Structure 1
Amino acid sequence: MKTMNFPIQMLLGAILAIPAQSVFAQEASLNAANTAWILTSTALVLFMTLPGLALFYGGLVRVKNILSVLMQCFAIACLVSLLWLIAGYSLAFGTGNAWIGDFSMVFMASISEDALAGDIPLSLHAMYQMTFAIITPALIVGAFAERMKFSSMLIFSALWLFAVYIPVCHWVWAGSGWLFEKGLLDFAGGTVVHITAGVAALVAAIVLGKRNGFPTTAMPPHNMTMTVTGAGMLWVGWFGFNAGSALAANGNAAMAMLVTHISAAAGALAWMAIEWMRFRKPSVLGIVTGMVAGLGTITPASGYVGPGGALIIGLAAGIICFVMTQLVKRVWKIDDSLDVFPVHGIGGVLGTILAGVFASTELGAFSGQGFAAGINSMSEQLGVQLLGVIVTFVYTAIVTYVLLKLTGVFTSGLRVTKEEETIGLDLSLHEEDGYKL
């Protein structure tokens, strides 16, 4: 596996090992095909949040809270965009040191129209990575849906972006990042996006506490048609998320797209099957949740595995994430409202680990090495993958807890009042109704 070519890591390493000013001075030519594909991928990833994730989450909550979820996703997209402009991109992808970037690209003032990141515009790389930064805190919304103050959500999301997402992003994807240098395989965000969002969601659900009536009162989705619509948008948008992470229009991007689709289909059918066997009926909610589990789990491995590995990863995602949803809700009694941790958090952990197992274009191959050498190489890579998972998990959990407590001080409590929760966040926080029937 050491001999494999990992395009996103090699490209970022080449770009970010030198200050931004030197990047502008590079003698490189723009690749129109690559640029066109990443422009498309950028639009697809933003499409995942607005409207994909917003509709997916919106349909899952009760009718009195639909607008609050849409509002949170929309506001996060706006807030993170500006914070990414001000200092987020610079701190995430500036050279800096092993732990954090620098201020060489603050307000993106040094990013000119002609500046290149490899053979695509540097401005495009900044925009593409912005869409990743947007969807990650938006995913956490599903954990505290129907009970968090809007002001608390805004403050927490801003603090979390700088204290959790940006440092982990730098560790994993910046050329000077310490996990990057150790060789962690995370093609499109298993650690950076899914583990951070999933663990933060678990911590938020615990800190805020259960919704009034949970788990004795039924809280079914109010509009499954909306949820399925959002799920379809997520599936399509995920091609930009994973295949776009090749940062090129090439065979690596094509394979990433293929394995992403296979894993999504396998995860959906695996979840549906196990639910069918246990509850005697397959549900629409189950099949779309399994699809998301398959997508999230293949994400870190999408640039390193072939179709066989993707099939196994997708099946494992559907089964393991299903079991974890039952464990979190029914055994631990944690009200992670929309199952962010068992789907994204566990999916990110599983996918990051399995990336070290199936990092080959052919299932079971060891890139031309002998069997013993291949096993040793796999063991070594698995050690790096486990290190990345553990460090990301623990760091995110501790910092998220501190940020939630700090936010609660700023806003005199994280939760809305019991009366506001009973009325619903749409009316109590926004004075609007989702539907006029």
Structure 2
Amino acid sequence: MSNFTTPWLDTGDNAWQLTAGSLVALQSVPGLVVLYAGFMRSKWAINSAFMAFYAFAATLITWVLWAYKIGFGIYMLPFAGRPGPVVTIAQELKQSELPSAGLQQNFPLSTMIYFQFVFAAITVVIMAGAFLGRMNFTAWMLFVPLWITFSYTIGAYSLWGGGFLFQRGVIDYSGGYVIHLSSGTAGFVGAHWIGPRLDVDRLETRPSNVLGVLVGAGILWIGWNGFNGGDPYAASADAGVAVLNTNVATAMSLLCWTICDIIYYKKPSVLGAVQGMITGLVAITPAAGVVAGWGAICIGFASGTIPWLSMNVMGKKVAYFRKIDDVMGIFHTHCIAGAVGGFCVGLFATAEGCAAFGISNAGGAIDGNGRQVWLQIVGALFVIGWNIVWTSLIMLFIKYVCRIPLRMSDEELMAGDDMVHGEAAYALGPCEAHEHLLAGHYVKRSETGPGELSMGGVTMGHDPHVGTSDSSPRAGEIKV
């Protein structure tokens, strides 16, 4: 075995970067795969999980063939690098650098390519949460590489790769804008173009597996240590700050969301707690290593209350928000929370934190640099505007130029996984009389044959004797 090494390689930095990237990858596969499958009705568990699973793979091939260089390559436009492949051994072994930003890292380019890939992948996986339960899978297969190419890479280059927002000093520590604001905006806009689920699926909001949701949420939370801890591109002191602040803000957000549920709905909801956890993770992301611990607590308070209000008040009282079928509430948990976090950077960033991160910003408003607030607003408006336009263009291109329907047929929407994929998520046994249960359809108890196991649908998380006419939401549930 060769002991070959290079003078620029820091094995500790490389080890942490690969570990951080793997933690982020676990957030998508299996984290959100499991969370989506558990959150949806059983008849959509396979399709929901598969949308995330496919997006992870499709993004990687897109990434290494042309997209990485658009996001992190040589200058081509103020918001985009020059596209090209990164698949030769010479490229993979050389020292990592971001040429437009004038930065080098003490690990190989292959490590940087992988680390940035897992961020790109989780962005489209998050966005899928707005499209679950009705998007045509063929349309999704085409949408993923197109959106990564024309939308994700633009935000990545502009804010991280050395583009115009980077040069102007907009701070996005680890993706509050590049990942969450963009996926939240694109998810909402895409849901508009795709159209809603069937009414029966929108009315029945009980998850098929709440414990599965919690498993996915737990992977998401702990995986976020790599998400924010990896963005100094070094095993530095600031990486430790980012990890601690991430967990502090998330815990505060979860507590605030739960308290809001208790005050408003008179009971705590574990699904609500998961939403509060997610908004905390999202809001601290643009700020993680540049704010102090007390700033993280303030951000957690904001992310546990403002997105709660947008989801549970605005989302239910404003007609347009009720019309748009954003299944997982991605607009509230990622767009609103990402905007809140980005704004808070302008308020709470510290000069010491910025210096530890390696940027020259003089902190935020608390350090007398009120201009940072306006920079953060400008950055948010660019990301929102770009995603509104390009998500719409891509959806319309798929529908009208490629002639691929964005939404499944009504027949497929009624049948679910069984018709779309020929597979069922929960194989409960060989009883043919109840095969239709596996696709998410329920029968009255009186239809159970003599001597057969009477499941009555309760096993699937739905008692068929309870009517669905009462559509009043329970605590923490997304009701649109």
Deviation at 1:219, TM superposition (A): 2.1
1:142-170 Cα offsets, whole Å, 9 max, x none, are: 11100001001111111110010011100
Aligned to 2:234: 248
Q: Please, which moves more after superposition, 201-210 or 95-104?
A: 95-104
1:389-423 CA distances to partner (integer Å, 9 max, x unpaired)? 01110111111111111111224320001111011
1:420 aligns with 412
Q: Show the counterpart of 1:183.
A: 169
Is the 8 Å Cα contact of residues 43 and 415 (structure 2) preserved in structure 1?
yes
Equivalent position of 1:48 in the other structure: 27
Deviations 1:117-162 (A, max 9, x none): 4211111011100100110011111111000010011111111100
Change (3 A) 1:205 1:330: farther
Provide, for residues 345-377 of structure 1, a one-character-per-residue CA deviation record: whole Å limited to 9, x for no partner: 1111111111111102789xxxxxxx9x96684
Partner of 1:146: 133
| Aligned partners of 2:158 and 2:165 also within 8 Å | yes
CA-to-aligned-CA distance 1:152-208 (integer Å, 9 cap, x gap): 111111111001001110001012x00000001001001100011000011012122
What corresponds to 2:79 in structure 1? 99
TM-superposed CA distance for 1:246, in Å, is: 1.2
1:121 aligns with 2:108: yes
Q: Is the CA contact (8 Å cut-off) linking 1:151 and 1:411 kept in structure 2?
A: no
Between 320-329 and 344-353, the greater mean CA deviation after superposition? 320-329
Equivalent of residue 32 in structure 1, options 11, 32, 45:
11
Post-superposition CA distance 1:79-104 (Å, at most 9, x none): 00101010111111112232211146
Q: Which amino acid aligns with 1:356?
A: G
Q: Which has the higher helix share?
A: 1
Distance in 2 of aligned mates of 1:114 and 1:82: 20
Indicate the SS of the match to 2:205.
Answer: coil
- How many corresponding residue pairs? 401
State yes or no: 1:407 paired with 2:398: yes
Q: How does 1:61-80 map to 2 (within 5 A)?
A: 61-80=40-59
Matches within 5 A, 1:278-427: 278-326=264-312, 327-331=314-318, 332-333=321-322, 334-360=324-350, 377-409=368-400, 410-424=402-416, 426-427=417-418
CA gap 1:104/1:362 in 2 versus in 1, 3 angstroms: closer
Measure, in 1, the Cα distance between the counterparts of 2:385 and 2:92.
Answer: 38
Q: Cα distance 1:222–1:402, how it changes in 2: closer, same or farther (>3 A)?
A: same
Secondary structure at the aligned position of 1:119 is classed as: strand
What amino acid maps onto 1:350 in structure 2?
A: V
For normalisation by structure 2, the TM-score amounts to: 0.80
- Answer with 323-332 or 227-236: which moved more: 323-332
Larger radius of gyration: 2
**Which stretches in structure 2 are left out of the alignment for 5+ residues?**
1-5, 98-104, 354-361, 429-480
Share of identical aligned residues, percent?
33
CA contact (8 A) 1:55 1:230 kept: yes
SS at match of 2:369: helix
Match of 1:434 among 425, 429, 432: 425
Any idea what SS the aligned residue of 1:111 has?
Answer: helix
Which residue of structure 2 lines up, in the alignment, with residue 5 of structure 1? none
**Maintained 8 Å contact 1:214/1:335:** no
Change (3 A) 1:202 1:116: closer
Partner of 2:142 in structure 1?
A: 155
Determine helix, strand or coil for the equivalent of 1:301.
coil
After TM superposition, the runs of 4+ consecutive aligned structure 1 residues lying more than 4 A away are: 373-377
Residues 1:357 and 1:221: Cα distance change in structure 2 (over 3 Å): same
Letter in 1 for 2:311: T
**Higher RCO (C-alpha under 8 Å, 6+ residues apart):** 1
Aligned counterpart for 2:214 among listed residues 211, 218, 228: 228
Q: Match for 1:433: what amino acid? A: A
SS at match of 2:43: helix
